[in-house]
Amino acid sequence: MKPLVEILPDKCTNCFTCVRICPVKAIRAVPNGLSPEININRCIGCGACVDSCAPNAIEYRSSIEEAKNILKLNKEVAAIVSTGIAAEFDDITDYRKFVQMIKSLGIAHVYELSFGADLIAMKYLNLFSDFKGRYYITSFDPVVVNYIEKYHPNLINNLTPFISPKIAMAKVIHKKHGDKAKIIYIGSNIADKDEILLYNDDGKIDCMIIFPELRKLFKEFNIDENIVDYSDFDAPLGFKGSLYPLRNGLIQAADIDENLLTTHVISVEGKTAMLESIREFENNVKVIHRHLHVTYGNALSGPGITSRGNKLLKEHLIIKYANKRIKNFFRAEWYNDLDEYGSLDFKRSYKANDQRLPPPPKEKIEEALQILGKKDDDYSNCQQCGYSTCEEFAVDMAKGIVVPEMCHAYAVRNTKNYDESLKELNEKITKTRKALQESEEKVRSEHDSAHQAQELTNAILDNLRAGIVVVDYQLKIVKANNTFSRILGEEAREINEVIPGLVGADLKKLFSPEIYNLFSFVITNSEPIDTRDVIHNDSLLNLSIFPIVENQLAGGIVRDMKAPEVQRAEVIKRVSEVIDKNLEMVQQIGFLMGEGASDIEKMLNSVIKFYEQDKPK
Ligand code: SF4
Ligand code: SF4
């Protein structure tokens, strides 16, 4: 069976309202943006979380299908109806209409809860009249019973030892119709959905539906006030037990003395009143000397009733209804019924189910306060977290019930930090974008300059009379000028037209091994080769090879020695070398041969002059 209440993570917006509102901290906030978790063992079934959740992410267990199944499979179905129906169906003019509407669902017998309330009220009267020194807490509200069993287990022996009015009424019905009769309870307290599961004997109720579920069934079966006749409740009818949904309704039903000067009973209602009065009862009952009649008070304002608010109006409607019922009341019959059913066993016992959490170690609380940024004298105690003090919040943080994000100051500080980080990040992005633009401009301008330089270099290279070639370690041409392809011959010139610069051409296919091995040598050894004459096809070439990048690139200057301009320059160069190299020897010859030697020098110089004059300008 599904738990009484559960969170639907898809709908949850992580607002933590449910964590703050749960009176017993059965809902634990989960860090990292996950939905809170309900610990159903700690839950007391008050329904406050269901009502508090704005996006309707908390659901109670629906019993509609269960009710429909019971109606489908059984003819002898009885309903017990809480007086709260008068507050729910304020639009229905006569209660006899909604009795018939309920019967129209296929329910054979409709009983008032109020007779069961009368029976239990009598029990309270007897107990309080002869209580033998033990003070009691009334046990008609399952939320209160759950709370005591789980959070004040020391008080279970102070709970009135009686079943609730609905179970008492179920016993009456089973006595009347036999154990096999199926019973559906219609009320407004969602905790009743779990309470009925405790009984499997003659107090068994098979299903409990709350008023909004009853409305859904009416809608589904097209049941409307205008299409049904009047019908009355089945006997036994109730008396002042009709006041049961009101704070002191059961006390009044039992005619228990409520005079403040003489009464032995204090009646309280509401979440805070329940929590505080039970705590006080535990601590101070020896002084107070009163019984506690207490209810959580969600019967007229919880998820079990369709419209919230207007509590006074709802109380008025119940009192009006009770008066109407009492007008046609036959006291003699009621006494007979009390005689007939008053001897049923209405006793019950309780079982401690301690769900109190042990106090966390001091260091954990201090650690929590530190995370929250609370210093010794700096507790704002703003209460926006739902706790009275920062320290109480830190205690629950240490217990793992709340997370720091629920602290307003912490959240604001973190939002500030987040905002600042965001601002810094934005500034960084702006700076980066600007730097990127500048660097793009720089790259573009450098690219333009490089392009211009490249074009200039190409123009210079192409106009050189020497062939220039650059090759990589695989002897693939990286760059060659036009003169290089011209020197190599027709085939190389044609390739150069298709692939300018002979880029990627294999030097090994253009030169003989004798030549390309010279390039390999320079690349491998990083040693230049200066002016080496080689034969290529029918040409005499002069090569100078030099390393550019060690083991990677080498450059070559190739001159065709048959080209006229090369021939002249070469003759000049080489004659100059002869003169330089042999000057000393010539001088010695001159010294030995006298004037004749200077004539030889003059002759050689005149050769140089001749060639220089003929040099193209
Ligand atoms: S109140 Fe609803 S939306 Fe908010 S945390 Fe709880 S389940 Fe989620
Ligand atoms: S039903 Fe009540 S006790 Fe249970 S989780 Fe919701 S608020 Fe807490």
Residues flanking ligand 1, CB < 6 Å: 7, 12-18, 35-36, 52-53, 55, 57-58
Distance CA(69)–CA(484), nearest Å, equals 101
Task: For residue 252, give both structure tokens.
Answer: 């009044």
The pLDDT of residue 583 is 59
* Ligand minimally distant from the alpha carbon of residue 38: 2
Q: Check pocket membership of 45 for ligand 2, CB cut-off 6 A.
A: yes
pLDDT digits (tens, 9 = 90+) for 243-276: 998 988 989 899 898 888 888 899 999 999 999 9
Residue of the nearest CA to atom 8 in ligand 2?
Answer: 22
* Ligand minimally distant from the alpha carbon of residue 48: 2
The pLDDT of residue 380 is 76
Residue 561, pLDDT > 50, answer: yes
Residue 564, pLDDT > 80, answer: no
pLDDT-based confidence at 7, cuts 50/70/90?
very high
Count the Cβ atoms, other than its own, within 10 Å of residue 331: 9
Over range 351-380, report the average pLDDT.
87
Per the prediction, the chain carries an average pLDDT of: 87
The pLDDT of residue 351 is 94
Over range 279-307, report the average pLDDT.
90
* Ligand minimally distant from the alpha carbon of residue 19: 1
The pLDDT of residue 580 is 65
Closest CA to 56 of 11, 23, 19: 11
Residue 281, pLDDT > 50, answer: yes
The pLDDT of residue 570 is 62
The pLDDT of residue 434 is 83
Residue of the nearest CA to atom 3 in ligand 1?
Answer: 12
Residue 67, pLDDT > 90, answer: yes
So where are the chain's domains? Answer: 62-341, 360-406, 409-453, 464-562, 567-613
CA torsion angle for 359, 365, 367, 370 (degrees, to 10)? 160
Count the Cβ atoms, other than its own, within 10 Å of residue 178: 10
Distance CA(409)–CA(506), nearest Å, equals 76
Burial class (CB in 10 A: 0-12, 13-18, 19+), 110: buried
Distance CA(568)–CA(562), nearest Å, equals 10
pTM (predicted TM-score): 0.68
**Dihedral of alpha carbons 321, 327, 328, 333, sign:** positive
When mean pLDDT is compared across 67-81, 212-226, 597-611, the lowest value belongs to: 597-611
What's the gap in Å between 275 CA and the centre of ligand 2?
14
The pLDDT of residue 568 is 64
Residue 416, pLDDT > 70, answer: no
Distance CA(209)–CA(219), nearest Å, equals 15
Task: For residue 344, give both structure tokens.
Answer: 């049923």
pLDDT-based confidence at 451, cuts 50/70/90?
confident
**What is the residue type of 90?**
D
Residue of the nearest CA to atom 2 in ligand 1?
Answer: 53
pLDDT higher at 82 or 584: 82
CATH topology of domain 464-562: Beta-Lactamase (3.30.450)
The pLDDT of residue 596 is 46
Which of the given ranges, 225-229, 280-284, 558-562, 582-586, has the highest pLDDT on average? 280-284
User: Which of 12, 20, 25, 27 has most ligand 2 atoms within 8 Å of its beta carbon, as the pocket-test mutant?
Assistant: 27
What's the gap in Å between 47 CA and the centre of ligand 1?
13
Residue 152, pLDDT > 50, answer: yes
Over range 562-585, report the average pLDDT.
63
Q: Collapsing DSSP states into helix, strand and coil, what is residue 547? A: strand
The pLDDT of residue 571 is 60
The pLDDT of residue 591 is 53
Q: Check pocket membership of 186 for ligand 2, CB cut-off 6 A.
A: no
pLDDT digits (tens, 9 = 90+) for 161-187: 999 999 999 999 999 999 889 999 999
Q: Check pocket membership of 510 for ligand 2, CB cut-off 6 A.
A: no
pLDDT digits (tens, 9 = 90+) for 482-527: 888 888 888 888 888 888 888 998 888 888 898 999 999 999 999 9
Closest CA to 522 of 548, 498, 500: 548
pLDDT digits (tens, 9 = 90+) for 465-481: 889 999 999 999 998 98
pLDDT digits (tens, 9 = 90+) for 103-143: 999 999 999 999 999 999 999 999 998 888 899 999 999 99
Q: Scanning the structure block, which residue is given the tokens 């002059």?
A: 609
pLDDT higher at 373 or 192: 192
Beta bridge partners of 137: 159, 292
Q: Check pocket membership of 191 for ligand 2, CB cut-off 6 A.
A: no
Over range 208-229, report the average pLDDT.
93
pLDDT-based confidence at 452, cuts 50/70/90?
confident
Percent of the chain scoring above 70 in pLDDT: 90
Beta bridge partners of 267: 293
